[in-house]
Structure 1
Amino acid sequence: MMSSITSFNESLVSHQTFVLIGIPGMQEKNSWVAFPLFVLYTLTLLGNFTILYVIKIDPSLHEPMYFFLSMLACSDLGLCISTLPTMLGVYWFDSREIPLNACISQMFFIHSFQWAESGILVAMAFDRFIAIRDPLRYRSRLPNTLIAKIGIAVFSRSFCICFPPPFLLSKLPFCRSNVLSHSYCLHQDAMKLACADTRVNVLYGLIAIISTLGLDVFIILVSYVLILKTVLSIASRKECLKALNTCVAHIAAILIFYVPMIGISMAHRFGRHLSPIIHMLMANIFVTVPPLLNPVVYSVKTQQIRQRLCNIFQFRKSRG
């Protein structure tokens, strides 16, 4: 009788490490992914640091739109640095074990930077509305002090939202499997491995998504309805298209961010029958594509940044 109780108690001992996975069922092919992932990591760092550098050195870019773009680049850098080194360790060095506390910390930073990016996209939608609605007073409507306050509010909100889940998760026992579904730590992924009631975690996550992500999407939609209403009132077709063109990069950034986020959330909730490789691909896209593509989109679609980049490269070429 005592031995059965002892074995039962031992089975409830919580794991203190998680195991990350690369390509499900094909671990021997992980190295094939490592080099492209390293190139992607390098390009992401280079692209976002370039955006920050160009905005810093060019006084003509010291405007609200570009300050918000700087915040977006910082958020993308944070997400990239929080995830890709761990992923490279899994794919390149087969370093798959991660301590529980390190995993929880990684979850916190991943989700914090994602919620921050969502808030920044809302601020950028508001910025586009002001720029199109009242272009003559655009700069005075968004002084540097207000932009700083918006930035502080965005990052403070993401910190406050993401602060409770690590504590809720750290209290759960993990006495079953400790193998995660991805090559980095996500809250919803680790939560499924707990051998205890996770209703509080699920409820908090649902409330957080509705009150932040849902609200952010609603505000962005309202902003673009008002933008369209303003643009359609412009008599000149040329001016109308010019005004809409200033929103193209922002709309692309919205799609790049929200589509993978919604996709992986739906996969975790309803896609258990899908192939593990599909889950792996969606998870990797979720954290790698937005930080990589945002600098590309803004460099291509924003004339001032594109022109400044061309000037930098031409200057270096002439010096060479």
Structure 2
Amino acid sequence: MSAFNLTPSDPSAFILNGIPGLEAAHIWISIPFSMFYIISLLGNFMILFLVSKEQTLHKPMFLLLSMLALTDIGGSTCVMPKALCIFWFGFKSITVDGCLTQMFFFNTVAAMHTAVLVIMAFDRYVAICDPLRYATILTNTRIAKLGLLGLIRAVLLVLPEPLLLWRLPFCTNRVIPHTYCEHIAVVKMSCGDTRINRTYGLVISLVIIGIDLTLIGLSYGLIIRAVLRISSKKAHRKALNTCTAHICVMLVTYTTNLFSVLTHRFGQGIADHVHILMANLYLLVPPMLNPIIYGIKTKELREKMGKYTCRM
């Protein structure tokens, strides 16, 4: 069995080694991972079901929430089934094509996820700063077009990563100390000149996160300025309460994402298993918490969820 785990049947394939240093605990680690993944799927599919079934939820805010749910499902599903196969069955081999395909879809979904958060911030800005024109500015069609634009941006920015890797030769040691084909982990498997790959990967990560965080910060800066002009404290609370769910989702997403990206590239003093655990928690915790946060903070979702729960 150990020979099967460590040596791919195809000599051109990669080996995903799971969480290095914690191989003996893979079964135990898989328990919370699989629970988080199942809760995430149930919560996000529930949101998609409610929005599709209820005509009253066919609004821009809930269309955006559906987009967020789709990216949460897509991001975790790109990685977790393979990770659980590693933990449960020791199926560690993955073809080069499969590895690069997984990398492309995962990074595309991640870039789309942050684009959706930007559109949601813009949605809150219009709702608070220009409420009388909200229905005309943010129609369902316009939200769909913005979502499509975010998807096109994600594909165009992410596609060069696997294409640049495709041209590189890989060393005979093809063991990737990770649960999935993370870009920089695959780059380290190459025996060629990887400066372009490393630079492009880092620049794209910082550009996407930097631009999107700037746009989100600008939206909330304008929101705070508009709220401060309101004299009523009750109106203050009501306006800011509409943003709390989105702020919580952003904090959960960007905190885990930035920590994972920066420690993996610059945290040489941090143990490998910490890097890998944080990278996997980034895939599991935000998708699990997002439906819970919006379910608690959004009255219409709570009511519709209660309606269907009572029927069971």
Structure 2 match to 1:97: 93
Q: Does 1:21 align with 2:14?
A: no
**More divergent stretch after superposition (213-222 vs 168-177):** 168-177
Deviations 1:203-232 (A, max 9, x none): 222332343221111010011000000111
**Residues of 1 paired with 2:67 and 2:148: CA distance?**
10
Deviations 1:70-108 (A, max 9, x none): 111111111121111011101111111111110110000
Partner amino acid for 1:212? Answer: I
Asked whether the equivalents of residues 63 and 139 of structure 1 are also in contact (C-alpha less than 8 Å), the reply is no
RMSD after superposition: 1.5
**Residues of 1 paired with 2:70 and 2:22: CA distance?**
34
Matched positions, count: 303
Structure 2 match to 1:200: 196
Correspondence for 1:217 among 195, 213, 216: 213
Residues 206 and 270 (structure 1 numbering): CA distance in 2 closer, same or farther, change over 3 Å?
closer
Partner amino acid for 1:204? Answer: Y
Deviations 1:140-196 (A, max 9, x none): 111122111101101111111111111111111111532212111111111122111
Asked whether the equivalents of residues 176 and 194 of structure 1 are also in contact (C-alpha less than 8 Å), the reply is no
The alpha-carbon deviation at position 15 of structure 1 amounts to 6.1
| Equivalence map 1:142-291=2 (5 Å) | 142-291=138-287
Partner amino acid for 1:95? Answer: F
Q: Does 1:109 align with 2:105?
A: yes
Partner SS for 2:175: coil
**Residues of 2 paired with 1:222 and 1:45: CA distance?**
32
Partner SS for 1:19: strand
**Residues of 1 paired with 2:49 and 2:15: CA distance?**
38
| Equivalence map 1:43-82=2 (5 Å) | 43-82=39-78
- Highest CA radius of gyration, 1 or 2? 1
Partner SS for 2:173: coil
**Residues of 1 paired with 2:107 and 2:169: CA distance?**
22
Deviations 1:248-295 (A, max 9, x none): 110111111111111111112211221122112111112111111111
Asked whether the equivalents of residues 15 and 174 of structure 1 are also in contact (C-alpha less than 8 Å), the reply is no
**More divergent stretch after superposition (38-47 vs 23-32):** 23-32
Partner SS for 2:94: strand
Partner amino acid for 1:91? Answer: F
**Residues of 1 paired with 2:181 and 2:202: CA distance?**
19
Partner amino acid for 1:255? Answer: L
The alpha-carbon deviation at position 197 of structure 1 amounts to 0.9
Partner SS for 2:176: coil
**Residues of 2 paired with 1:279 and 1:210: CA distance?**
18
Partner SS for 1:197: coil
**Residues of 1 paired with 2:122 and 2:232: CA distance?**
23
The normalised TM-score by structure 1 is 0.91
**More divergent stretch after superposition (65-74 vs 263-272):** 263-272
Partner amino acid for 1:115? Answer: A
Asked whether the equivalents of residues 111 and 162 of structure 1 are also in contact (C-alpha less than 8 Å), the reply is yes
Unaligned runs of 5+ in 1: 1-13
Asked whether the equivalents of residues 23 and 29 of structure 1 are also in contact (C-alpha less than 8 Å), the reply is no
**Residues of 2 paired with 1:26 and 1:149: CA distance?**
45
Deviations 1:101-143 (A, max 9, x none): 1011000011000000010000000000000012222111111
Partner SS for 1:234: coil
**Residues of 2 paired with 1:133 and 1:216: CA distance?**
20
Asked whether the equivalents of residues 20 and 178 of structure 2 are also in contact (C-alpha less than 8 Å), the reply is no
The alpha-carbon deviation at position 202 of structure 1 amounts to 2.0
- Report runs of 4+ in structure 1 exceeding 4 Å deviation: none
**Residues of 2 paired with 1:99 and 1:78: CA distance?**
21
Unaligned runs of 5+ in 2: 1-9
Partner SS for 2:193: coil
